[in-house]
């Protein structure tokens, strides 16, 4: 009976946990090494951290305590994250190595940067954001839905998948080194295209007006000189295409170095 009462007491603050909020309009928000992150843009002025508590996995002995890390980070949100601010820059970092899923709502007036270099965790999802976005992901995929601001997204070992319900109005740069870049756009999208693939292929159902295209082999010796260590006994095929769809518009630069590009109509 005592054990049941203690569990109920510990569960009360978890069930009543409030979202963490911080004024963030017009600021730069940097997310570093967060395992399971969803970012949602909005018209508000605050950064809001929402989490999903898993009571089955809760550490009963940690009830009433705050998580800290050896690097000096302290969970000041209640969701396993450290949020600090200095001179208009908000830094969001995970405290510890077993982060739970969190959703962070950010103002569309903010600039968002995301860096995740560890193999743990899961994919990054960004939706309904119209501010500037800069992403660097190592081992997981990046999923973008109606992200309409200027963006530069780089992934190494997994896909970048982007879907727009309305045509993008700002410059878009998506680059995956060893996996696919898959883009879905409204049929009426006007864009300038800059496409590049090495060992992969390009696929589309758009009518592309080609301005220039290059298919050239880059010898292994030249690749070693410029720091490309891939070695498969063959010269590297550097396939590049520039063109427009529907007369041209904002730049859409897509690169899948060792896998495929997909540009499809909505």
**Confidence (pTM):** 0.83
At residue 12 the predicted structure's pLDDT band, cuts being 50, 70 and 90, is very low
What are the structure tokens assigned to 148, written together? Answer: 């309409």
**pLDDT per residue over 13-36, tens digit each?**
444 458 999 999 999 999 999 999
pLDDT at 141 over 50: yes
Can you give the pLDDT at residue 63? 80
- What local confidence, expressed as pLDDT, does residue 26 receive? 97
Write out pLDDT tens, residues 162-186: 999 999 999 999 999 999 999 999 9
pLDDT of residue 162: 98
What is the tens place of the pLDDT at every residue in 200-241?
999 999 999 999 776 545 455 654 554 554 445 545 456 899
Residues 6+ away with beta carbon under 8 Å from 173? 151, 152, 153, 251, 253
Query: Are residues 140 and 221 in contact, defined by beta-carbon separation less than 8 angstroms?
Result: no
Domains of the chain, residue spans:
18-140
Phi, psi angles (nearest 5°) of residue 221: -60, -45
Q: Is residue 142 a contact partner of residue 160, using CB atoms and an 8 Å limit?
A: yes
């Amino acid at each position: 009976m005592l054990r049941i009462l203690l569990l109920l007491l510990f569960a009360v603050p978890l069930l009543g946990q409030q979202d963490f909020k911080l004024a963030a309009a017009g600021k730069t928000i940097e997310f570093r090494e967060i395992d399971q992150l969803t970012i949602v843009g909005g018209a508000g002025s605050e950064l809001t951290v929402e989490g999903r508590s898993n009571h089955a996995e809760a550490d009963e002995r940690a009830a009433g305590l705050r998580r800290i890390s050896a690097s000096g980070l302290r969970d000041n949100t209640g969701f396993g994250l450290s949020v600090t601010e200095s001179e208009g820059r908000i830094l969001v970092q995970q405290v510890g190595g077993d982060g739970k899923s969190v959703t962070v709502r950010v103002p569309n007036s903010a600039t968002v940067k995301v860096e995740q270099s560890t193999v743990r965790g899961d994919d990054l999802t960004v939706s309904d954001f119209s501010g500037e976005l800069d992403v660097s992901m190592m081992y997981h995929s990046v999923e973008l839905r109606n992200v309409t601001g200027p963006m530069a997204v780089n992934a190494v070992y997994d896909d970048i998948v982007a879907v727009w319900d309305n045509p993008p109005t700002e410059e878009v740069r998506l680059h995956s080194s060893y996996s696919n870049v898959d883009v879905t756009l409204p049929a009426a999208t006007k864009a300038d295209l800059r496409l590049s693939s090495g060992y992969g292929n390009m696929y589309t159902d758009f009518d592309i007006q080609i301005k220039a295209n290059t298919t050239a082999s880059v010898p292994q010796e030249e690749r070693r000189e410029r720091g490309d260590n891939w070695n498969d006994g063959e010269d590297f095929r550097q396939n590049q295409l520039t063109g427009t769809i529907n007369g041209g518009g904002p730049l859409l630069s897509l690169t899948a170095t060792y896998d495929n590009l997909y540009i499809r109509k909505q």
